Amino acid sequence: MKTNAARILDQLGISYELREYSVDPEDLTAETVATKIGLPPEQVFKTLVAKGERTGVCLAVIPGNCELDLKALAAATGDKKIDLVPLRDVLPLTGYVRGGVTALGCRKDYPVSADETIELRDVISISAGLRATQILIAPTDYLRSTSANLAPIARQKMH
């Protein structure tokens, strides 16, 4: 199924692969998505919605096996303080539901910061704008299509 994100990539002439999977609304973790689409979690990038006191709403794209480092994101965006937006605000801000957020085709053109480890991969997976579909894309093409800034914004999850 073509999504707005896929149509944007088509318009840019960027090649990608759509990969569909079955969704468990109770488990939307990137690790679970990675298992379902056959990739390691560090190649499945999740898009988080944050808000800084200076820059306002921004998107952070990090590996599925990591968590967002809010201090590092604030430094990357020029904010003193930045926080994730409440879940209830994600859909009105982006046009996407939790588990389906992508920087491609958001309601507004928000600034995007991607963790620098994105460049270590040959291919990454991002949400296609639906919970049940991922886009497999070369990191350089993704960065070009989103005008993302690279920064060290992710850290390993504490277990």
Give the closest residue to 102 by CA, choosing from 129, 120, 82. Answer: 129
**Total count of domains within the chain:** 1
Sign of the CA dihedral running 3, 93, 149, 98: negative
Amino acid at 137: I
Is residue 13 left, alpha or beta, with left meaning phi > 0 and alpha meaning psi from -120 to 50?
Answer: left
Strands 112-115 and 149-151: parallel
We report the CATH number of the domain holding residue 15 as 3.90.960.10
Domain that includes residue 81, residue range = 4-156
Render each residue's pLDDT in the chain as its tens digit; 159 residues: 688 999 999 999 999 999 999 988 888 888 999 999 999 999 999 999 999 999 999 999 999 999 999 999 999 999 999 999 999 999 999 999 988 999 999 999 999 999 999 999 999 999 999 889 999 999 999 999 999 999 999 998 876
